[in-house]
Amino acid sequence: MSKYVSTDPATGVVVKEFDSATDAEVDSAVEAAHTAYGAWRRADVAERTGLLQRIADTYRERSEELAALMTTEMGKPVAQARGEVALAASIFEYYAAKGPEFLEEEQLDIAGQGSAVVRTEAIGALVGVMPWNYPHYQVARFVAPNLLLGNTILLKHASNCPQQALAIADLVEAAGAPAGVYQNVFATNDQVARMIAHPFVQGVSLTGSERAGQAVGSVAGAHMKKCVLELGGSDPFIVLADADPAAAAREAATGRFANAGQACTSSKRIIVEDAVWDSFLEEFLRQAASWQLGDPARDETKLGPMSSVAGRADLEGQVQDAVAKGATVHLGGSAPDGPGAYYPATVLSGVDTTMRAYQEELFGPVAVLYRVRSAEEAVAVANDSPFGLGAAVFGGDEDHARQVADQLDVGMVGINTTIKSAPDLPFGGVKASGVGRELGRFGLDEFANKKLVRKLTS
């Protein structure tokens, strides 16, 4: 039987192990979710928003505990972990506050007789397949709007963060969720497919790799289940000729190296016009060098270990392939000796289409810089990717920067800022970066029945 294993990536020490669920336990969880849905969908909106607010409050009360567990289990520097806990709390609180407004029926202006409204209603039990890189934020943005709607949740978390999965389930229960409304399931991949196919389950949301999205999406499609897929990204960060190179470099470094570069929306491809290349490169290298490896449990640490030795090995392979084919290493480029999954802030240039680093997502603290002759070339390089999640454009003339941004094939773009998640901003991409949106009003509508109610009399 496969295991859910909690390993400290700073030391490589296995902390705890948990058995996967049995098929009977999975089936029982699905049935409990379906049973709970019958009552939860009919609960007063005030009851559902009340639960969301209590979850937000409980997150804040347990901030230190949850942040420390995140640091131990996936290596996130503790200061960044506290920030993630606060973001998760704010998402639950946002839907608690906006819930009554979002669930108001919409009156339609129709040509025929009578009246018509659209109601936003729940659809049933949902499966959530969540990743390890933002183990609380990712869960919150799926769970909060769906609990508001009246859907129920079967949560399959990443196999390397089982203690956090259990902590979230305990937190939701402590906040007063009725039995069956939210359940953690230590499911295998085969059991995830089994849950999606179950007639009691009405949809699935996955955040993960392109390969995982293809697997889940194919099962969902075969069984006519709604799915939201938030997959990989290789976000371009464009620095135009009239940009402030120092300000852009500071933002690019934070956008690339936070969370050890393990974010879908990290600034992975930094595309710089000739006019500011030298000054940008100098400042960016200075900024990157300040992201020193350290103990993630210390408040001052900005760059901790990657989540696993296996993940580091994948990243090393991509860097070594690029170097072997002629790329230049300006900083970093090799793992330090010693225990743990540490990898330094690394900066490459001279990456071309023959290298894995050109088309593949680099999920770790490696920045790739591209030198281009014009804004038009910058757009061409930015769009030459299978991914289309987020992007950033930095320039002194904001109108010109916006014109450049409008040409990018992405779901999100920032002008003189990177994409930073907020409860009221929709999140999602195009192309191989997935389908659907999360957060804001858009996230609420993904797993909602937009029910038309027509009356012939007013």
Nearest CA among 319, 216, 233, 309 for reference residue 268: 233
For 115-148, letters b (16+ CB in 10 Å) and e give eeeeebebbbbbbbbbbbbbbbbbbbbbbbbbbb
Beta bridge partners of 451: 119
Residue 32 in any domain: the answer is: yes
Residue 428 in any domain: the answer is: no
Residue 427 in any domain: the answer is: no
Asked if residue 242 and residue 224 are part of one domain, the reply reads no
The domain that holds 118 is classified in CATH as: 3.40.605.10
The domain that holds 346 is classified in CATH as: 3.40.309.10
Residues classed as catalytic: 230, 264
Q: How many alpha carbons fall within 13 Å on the CB side of residue 331?
A: 22
Asked if residue 377 and residue 245 are part of one domain, the reply reads yes
Asked if residue 246 and residue 218 are part of one domain, the reply reads no
What CA–CA distance (Å, rounded) separates 185 from 154? Answer: 7
- For 261, which DSSP code? G
Asked if residue 283 and residue 316 are part of one domain, the reply reads yes
Residue 20 in any domain: the answer is: yes
Task: Name the pTM for this structure.
Answer: 0.97
**For the chain, how many structural domains are there in total?**
2
Structure tokens that stand for 173 in this block: 């229960």
| pLDDT tens by residue, the chain, 458 residues | 589 999 999 999 999 999 999 999 999 999 999 999 999 999 999 999 999 999 999 999 999 999 999 999 999 999 999 999 999 999 999 999 999 999 999 999 999 899 999 999 999 999 999 999 999 999 999 999 999 999 999 999 999 999 999 999 999 999 999 999 999 999 999 999 999 999 999 999 999 999 999 999 999 999 999 999 999 999 999 999 999 999 999 999 999 999 999 999 999 999 999 999 999 999 999 999 999 999 999 999 999 999 999 999 999 999 999 999 999 999 999 999 999 999 999 999 999 999 999 999 999 999 999 999 999 999 999 999 999 999 999 999 999 999 999 999 999 999 999 999 999 999 999 999 999 999 999 999 999 999 999 999 76
Asked if residue 346 and residue 275 are part of one domain, the reply reads yes
In this structure, are residues 6 and 73 in contact, taking their beta carbons and an 8 Å threshold? Answer: yes
Asked if residue 381 and residue 292 are part of one domain, the reply reads yes
Asked if residue 310 and residue 252 are part of one domain, the reply reads yes
Nearest CA among 153, 207, 203 for reference residue 179: 153
Query: Residue 125's domain spans which residues?
Result: 3-231+433-455
